[in-house]
A and B are shown apart, each in its own frame.
Chain A
Amino acid sequence: MQDVSVSVRVPTILRPLTGGAAEVSVDGAATLAEVLDKLEAEHPGIRTRVLDDDGKLRRFVNVYVNDDDVRFADGLRTATPDGASISIIPAVAGG
């Protein structure tokens, strides 16, 4: 499990929490929920920006694992295999 590594693309508004990094890597996480837990440990504050008080994805956040919207997959339980690319993107755009 420990050699599993994924990369997370960080949206502009969260970069103050990652020291300005646009992309960070996370090791040893098998699901999106675990990725967020690890991110929180490294960059405190990220979890509450992305998840609401009930621990669910905020309604104006979209998260993609390898280009698939996790709302079409298993939400926070979506698997994040080794080498996966995860994007956190504001939902409010378009129209």
Chain B
Amino acid sequence: MTSVLDRPAAQFGSAANLVCRECGTTYDLGPSHVCEMCFGPLEIGYDADLQALVTRESIEAGPQTMWRYHGLLPVAPLVDLHVGMTRLVPAPHLAKVLGMRALWVKDDSGNPTHSFKDRVVSVAASAARALGFEVLSCASTGNLANAVAAAAANSGLKSVVFIPNDLEAGKVVTTAVYGGTLVAVEGSYDDVNRLCAEVAGELPWAFVNVNVRPFYAEGSKTVGYEIAEQLGWRLPEQVVIPIASGSLLTKVDKAWRELGKLGLVDPTSYQVFGAQSAGCSPVSSAFRAGHDVVQPVRPTGIAKSLNIGNPADGPYALDVVRRTGGAIDDVQDGEIIEGIQLLAETTGIFAETAGGVTVATLRKLLASGALDPEAETVILNTGDGLKTLDAVEAVARPTATIRPSLDAFREAGLGL
């Protein structure tokens, strides 16, 4: 493996070092994610002067992908599957049903492997290349598995992907098809994650969400950058984000704070809301109980892409939500299915279960008064419903089955 020191600094963009979020100890850029002093998570530290070179104009002159923000990211675009700049869809019909004034859906199902995970993997895979790795690996609840296998196939890296053995068929097939090694582990995601944390200590592989996690996590900032740019360089007043590890939520907040600090948007106030399923609600439970630590749970329920019982960024997600005056809530499987249907029927967007969680939680937060129906709101759809067909197949059926004749059509009473 080539040492990071042999590589030109330009490959690491505006990144300066790694900083422990807990105790502030700094480290050289490299494939490490844990503070040697306190086990705290390492995060990318940036060179403020380099970041300050980024302007609206320089961004707008960039490609129609997430890499238009490369000046705010920790690595050059060495792996690029044309990820990002997904649509921000106005949702007036959904807003009307919910009694809201202005609502948008940031629809990340439009990414190459149909989830927001393509963003984090683009950064992680680029970092893996810059750091001289040859194998890209991950623990995944499915969407990340797709993204890692595809990015590796595209960039000539080998992939080894670890998943729980009870994943939806739609996420197994859509990983295996890209080749590479796919390991189904007899256990939960948290078991898989633990295994990967141990394997990462033994093998010279780039585990996107373990040893290159500081780079990986920064990719989620591009969701926040895009929302601001697509709204005309301003921040929304409220955002609802699903929580699995909590990383996406914390990075959208980080993106908006950066944009404000760099003068790319007015630093207007916003509230961040989190969405979980009742089957896996450790962060929601901690929020409700007023705790700043998260008690791990054993996940159940249909929202498998969110089923992380021991969320690494849970405490930081709580910090963000509380700092911004938001809230976190959780919803039952039945509500999740209704959420998928409501979104599809009012926007034409077919979300996977995580999107159903977000819509159902939006509804619940409106009902409880935590979320203001008059404030401009963006919700995130992080994945494609085609990957979790089994969640809705019982309720999404033909309206009628008829013989191929005009009489049969009339008898069925289908004239609108």
Contact = CB atoms under 8 A, between A and B. Distances in A.
Nearest to B191: A67
A89 interface: yes
Contact of B296 (A12, A69, A92): A69
A92 B33 contact: yes
A90 B39 contact: yes
Nearest to B295: A71
Interface string A36-74: 000000000000011000000011111010000101100
Interface residues of A, number: 25
A64 B34 CA distance: 18
Contacts of A94: 139, 189-190, 193, 196, 209-210, 245, 308, 312
B70 to A, nearest CB: 22
Given A12-B201, A49-B38, A61-B39, A95 B296 contact: no
B296 A89 contact: no
B245 A58 contact: no
Interface in A1-58: 9, 11-13, 16, 22, 49-50, 58
Highest count of chain A CB atoms <10 Å: which of B37, B308, B310, B311:
B310
Interface string A70-89: 01100000000000000101
A49 B37 contact: yes
B213 interface: yes
Nearest to A16: B36
Contact of A93 (B35, B193, B202, B296): B193
A59 B20 CA distance: 14
B198 A9 contact: yes
Contacts of B190: 94
B28 interface: no
Interface string B174-214: 00000000000000011001101110111000010110010
Highest count of chain B CB atoms <10 Å: which of A11, A69, A71, A94:
A94
Given A60-B22, A69-B296, A91 B313 contact: no
Contacts of B202: 22
B132 interface: no
B297 to A, nearest CB: 9
B247 interface: yes
B17 to A, nearest CB: 17
A91 B198 contact: no
B119 to A, nearest CB: 13
Contact of B198 (A72, A89, A95): A89
B45 interface: no
A60 B310 CA distance: 10
Contact of A91 (B39, B217, B247): B39
B315 to A, nearest CB: 7
Given A91-B39, A92-B312, A59 B293 contact: yes
Contact of B34 (A9, A22, A60): A60
Contacts of A61: 39
Nearest to B247: A95
A93 B139 contact: yes
A93 B246 contact: no
Given A9-B198, A71-B296, A95 B313 contact: yes
A14 to B, nearest CB: 8
B389 to A, nearest CB: 25
B41 interface: yes
Nearest to B202: A22
B315 A91 contact: no
B260 interface: no
Nearest to A10: B201
Nearest to B220: A95
A93 B312 contact: yes
B22 A95 contact: no
A12 to B, nearest CB: 4
B292 to A, nearest CB: 9
B244 interface: yes
B33 A93 contact: yes
A13 B197 contact: no
Nearest to A11: B201
A90 B310 contact: no
20 contacts: A13-B34, A13-B36, A16-B36, A49-B37, A49-B39, A62-B194, A72-B296, A89-B198, A90-B33, A91-B310, A92-B39, A92-B312, A93-B139, A93-B210, A93-B213, A94-B312, A95-B209, A95-B247, A95-B248, A95-B308
Sort A-B residue pairs by CB-CB distance and give the 3 closest, nearest first: A95-B245, A92-B41, A94-B193
